[in-house]
Structure 1
Amino acid sequence: MNLSFDVLQVLDAIDRTGTFASAAETLRKVPSSLTYLVQKLELDLGVKLFDRTGRRATLTRVGRVVVEEGRRLLEAAEDLEFKAKRIQHGWESDLHIVIDEIIPFEFLWEHVDTFYQLKLDTRLHLSKEVLGGSWDALLTRRADLIVGAAGDPPAIPKLVTKPIGSLQHVFVVAPHHPLASTPEPLTLDIVARHRAVAIGDTSRKPRKLAPRTIAIAANQEILTVPTLEAKLAAQIKGLAAGTIPECLAVEALARGELVKKEVIGMQDITHFYLAWRDDETGGPLRWWVEQLDRPDLIDEVARQRILHG
């Protein structure tokens, strides 16, 4: 190959400075070495790159194409070198962030915008998981960071967890549901006789972690739905009963679309975590941890959920 990065840098410098002498000074070379490189390239390619009839070295039409395309190659080479150095020093080229179903994407957009302003050239991959799916994503390395993972952290090598808050759950049914008129407090046995609605755990098969559920009895009939919004809708329709974050049920309770019932022995608090593996922690991941490592993060999510419905 006749073209090299050294020659492309020489052509670029001559075009920018206007003379071989000025380009040589910029590149800290002697002018004769630049003249030799350019003449050899012209001979090898069989083209004329510079018009030397005037006081300044002027690019020919062919020379202009070679210089402009060469600059793109030089920029790409610089980007590649910079990217390689970033990866070597712990700057991920891709970052996979998983957020729990309880956290709306709107909560992250401001952070995403700020992150892109840093120009780290890291590709973000955002996705949602439910219940054990978040922990499973971290275990199987489908995620670098999980935000809002629910329940007690499982045994994952090099796991780092930070509590980011908890949510109060309420057991609710539609006013026309049989449990609405059942005297309180309800027992778990009474609840288990009725269909429950649950969000499907998104752990992948074959599962390395046991799937998780919230307030579901063994052998209870279950209606499985994909989102919290669908779960709430199913309960309002009277299709099933179950617990749901109180912040999501506030409006439906106020409108009389749902009735809150006390259930003895039912888990009503869920703790959430920010979690990652400490064996491959790069700069972009550390940046996101710094933004989201807040013990009141879930409280803020709950406030936004109540505010926006």
Structure 2
Amino acid sequence: MISLELIRLLRHIRNAGTLSQAAAQSGKAASALTYQVDKYEDSLGITLLQPHGRTIRLTEAALHICEMGADILNSVDSLEAQALAIGTGVEPRIRLAVDTWVSTDAVMSVISDFLAEYPQVELQIEHQALQGTWDALTTQRVDLIVGAIAPKPAGSGVQTLPLGKTERVLAISPDHYLAKRGSLLTDEDLEAARWVVIKDSSSMSPKRDLLPTTPQSVILVDSLEAKLAAQIQGLGIGFLPPQVAKSMVLKGQLVEIKLHSRPPDIEMLLAWRTDSRGQGLIRLIDMFSSADLLPQY
């Protein structure tokens, strides 16, 4: 029988890379982990470990258990938190996914105020981008997403609050060839230019990029900080939050480029699952809903 213990054990071995590394990280002998896995192999009638050169690694069957078991572990963790929230009113932990477009400083300011009221609540924070932010919520990896880009997925069983809309400013290095045009850029100019784009972190849903065209070349990055650095270096063009772009323009590191048609604003949302009811989450939602979450530089 596949148990939660087995899923956690196999995922620990997979994440460590090898059986010996997993044993070292857990402070156990490799033989102790092997013995645990052997018991499950006998029970299930399948092989979970196999030699790989001088090391021992997981079989395809074991890797499949790891992959499919991730959702099971997330569901169990979510169920535990819900049960404790019902029983005590306050959940033991709250997991957040923050979109890369959101100010980390602003998030931490909210977190600081929250922990002053709920010091016993454990917070787990991860960063996601675009559709990956929604994935984290709908797969129950997190309880709250901050700065998710509208619209919400259809039939997702989530509630949302608007955080506001923000424009996007096209900003490029003063040394970039398009900065020397002195005129509005055409669609052909945009298609020919290299763009710096924050990569959608989704591994499940169709990816989004929010670009006005299909460029011939892109540089994919995983954070707003990396995107800004690439654009300052003149590696490509791209949209930035208005406060960031204006700050860099004032410093002479970027110039703002006007387009024939203004790109649509993006709407940022707070979102959580409809089955969430803990007091801590409710308070955190209230705090984030009144915060200014756009980055400042």
Structure 1 residue 201 corresponds to structure 2 residue 203: no
Alignment of 1:1-309 (within 5 A): 86-88=85-87, 91-119=90-118, 121-203=120-202, 205=203, 207=204, 209-215=205-211, 217-218=213-214, 220-265=216-261, 267-294=263-290, 297=291, 300-302=292-294, 305-306=295-296, 309=297
**Helix, strand or coil: the match of 2:161?**
strand
Amino acid at match of 1:239: L
| Contact map agreement 2:170 2:238 (CA 8 A) in 1 | yes
CA 1:238/1:277 → structure 2, altered by over 3 Å: closer, same or farther?
same
| Contact map agreement 1:187 1:265 (CA 8 A) in 2 | no
| Contact map agreement 2:190 2:215 (CA 8 A) in 1 | no
CA 1:125/1:188 → structure 2, altered by over 3 Å: closer, same or farther?
same
**Helix, strand or coil: the match of 2:167?**
strand
List per-residue Cα deviations over 1:111-141 (Å, max 9, x = no partner).
4344334457432111111122211111111
Unaligned runs of 5+ in 1: 1-82
Name the counterpart of 1:63.
Answer: none
| Contact map agreement 1:172 1:259 (CA 8 A) in 2 | yes
Amino acid at match of 1:292: F
List per-residue Cα deviations over 1:240-272 (Å, max 9, x = no partner).
011111211223212322221112245252110
* Structure-2 separation of matches of 1:225 and 1:157: 28
Q: Could you tell me how far 1:175 is from its partner in structure 2?
A: 1.8
- Give the structure-1-normalised TM-score: 0.63
* Structure-2 separation of matches of 1:109 and 1:241: 29
* Structure-1 separation of matches of 2:118 and 2:265: 40
Name the counterpart of 2:11.
Answer: none
Unaligned runs of 5+ in 2: 1-81
* Structure-2 separation of matches of 1:120 and 1:84: 20
* Structure-2 separation of matches of 1:234 and 1:227: 11
* Structure-2 separation of matches of 1:243 and 1:148: 17
**Helix, strand or coil: the match of 1:97?**
strand
| Contact map agreement 1:170 1:268 (CA 8 A) in 2 | no
Q: Could you tell me how far 1:156 is from its partner in structure 2?
A: 4.2
Q: Could you tell me how far 1:87 is from its partner in structure 2?
A: 4.2
List per-residue Cα deviations over 1:123-176 (Å, max 9, x = no partner).
211111112221111111111111111232221422211111122211122122
Give aligned-pair identity as a percent.
Answer: 30
- Give the structure-2-normalised TM-score: 0.65
**Helix, strand or coil: the match of 1:124?**
strand
Displacement over 6 Å in runs of 4+: none
Amino acid at match of 1:155: A
| Contact map agreement 1:97 1:127 (CA 8 A) in 2 | yes
Name the counterpart of 1:39.
Answer: none
* Structure-1 separation of matches of 2:104 and 2:128: 12
* Structure-2 separation of matches of 1:113 and 1:235: 32
**Helix, strand or coil: the match of 2:208?**
coil
Count of aligned pairs: 216
Superposed CA RMSD in Å reads 2.4
Amino acid at match of 2:147: G
Amino acid at match of 2:208: R
CA 1:161/1:119 → structure 2, altered by over 3 Å: closer, same or farther?
closer
